[in-house]
């Protein structure tokens, strides 16, 4: 098995994680240098991220048979990982400990699952998740973008959020829940809502 090592500066603020190398990556011993890598580089450029500034890695460092990651699982639904995946996840977590990125971009289901145990990239993409101290933003894998071209602007939007997150991380809202309010409290609250609506010029949100 040929191992494709990660690339990028050890003090990178952004870490980009794919699934596993493909044929081109295996031939050149670098992640994301094939067709999906080229598209990734273009999308990063469009949002002002220099690829050279990012640490780029994969959950598994070797190419799965037929470039099909499900070959490294015991089932087609990719719920039962083989040892090679489990070892890859352990190694990936060590890389994160070493690099200490501010922002992690998880490209597709496999890295999102590896770090958050979540599945369903369509449901989760663009979310601000956390892995340790790092912000984790999942988005579509560039290979999926190449197959489904109308996902491209969505992936670009997510990458833009990732760039903004480096300097302006999201501030969680200060939630203030009132459990079982009195009817007077509800009426007072509704009055403030109406007063705000009345004070808002027509046509403005
Ligand atoms: N796809 C990946 O997930 N990683 C690569 O390095 C190349 C293609």
In the chain, helix, strand, coil percent, each to 5?
50, 15, 40
Q: How far apart are CA 125 and CA 49, in angstroms?
A: 19
Q: How far apart are CA 38 and CA 35, in angstroms?
A: 5
pLDDT of 204 reads: 62
CA of 31 to the centre of ligand 1 (A): 6
pLDDT of 199 reads: 87
Task: Assess whether the C-beta atom of 20 lies below 6 angstroms from ligand 1.
Answer: yes
Query: How many CB atoms sit inside 10 A of residue 125's CB?
Result: 20
7, 19, 140, 141, best to mutate for ligand 1 pocket (most atoms within 8 Å of CB): 19
pLDDT of 101 reads: 98
Structure tokens at 22: 């493909």
pLDDT of 12 reads: 98
pLDDT of 200 reads: 77
Tell me the HSE value of 77 on the side-chain side, using a 13 A CA sphere: 4
pLDDT of 203 reads: 64
pLDDT of 160 reads: 98
Tens-digit pLDDT profile for residues 150-170: 999 999 999 999 999 999 999
pLDDT of 183 reads: 97
Helix axes 109-116, 83-99, angle to 10 degrees: 70
pLDDT of 70 reads: 94
Which residues of the chain fall short of a pLDDT of 70?
202-205
pLDDT of 205 reads: 59
CA of 20 to the centre of ligand 1 (A): 5
pLDDT of 39 reads: 98
């Amino acid at each position: 098995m040929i191992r494709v090592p990660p690339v990028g500066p050890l003090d990178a603020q952004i870490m980009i994680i794919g699934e596993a190398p493909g044929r081109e990556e295996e031939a050149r011993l670098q992640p994301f240098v094939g067709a999906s890598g080229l598209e990734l580089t273009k999308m990063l450029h469009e949002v002002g991220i220099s690829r050279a500034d990012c640490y780029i890695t994969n959950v598994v460092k070797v190419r799965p048979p037929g470039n099909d990651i499900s070959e490294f699982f015991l089932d087609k639904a990719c719920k039962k990982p083989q040892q090679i995946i489990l070892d890859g996840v352990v190694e990936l977590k060590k890389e994160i400990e070493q690099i200490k990125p501010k922002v992690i971009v998880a490209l597709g289901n496999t890295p999102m699952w590896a770090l958050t145990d979540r599945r369903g990239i369509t449901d989760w993409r663009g979310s601000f998740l956390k892995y340790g101290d790092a912000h984790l933003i999942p988005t579509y894998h560039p290979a999926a973008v190449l197959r489904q071209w109308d996902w491209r602007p969505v992936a670009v939007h997510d990458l833009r959020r990732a760039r903004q997150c480096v300097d302006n991380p999201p501030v969680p809202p200060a939630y203030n829940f009132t459990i079982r309010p009195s009817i007077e409290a509800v009426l007072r609250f509704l009055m403030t809502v109406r007063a705000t609506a009345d004070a808002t010029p027509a046509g403005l949100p």
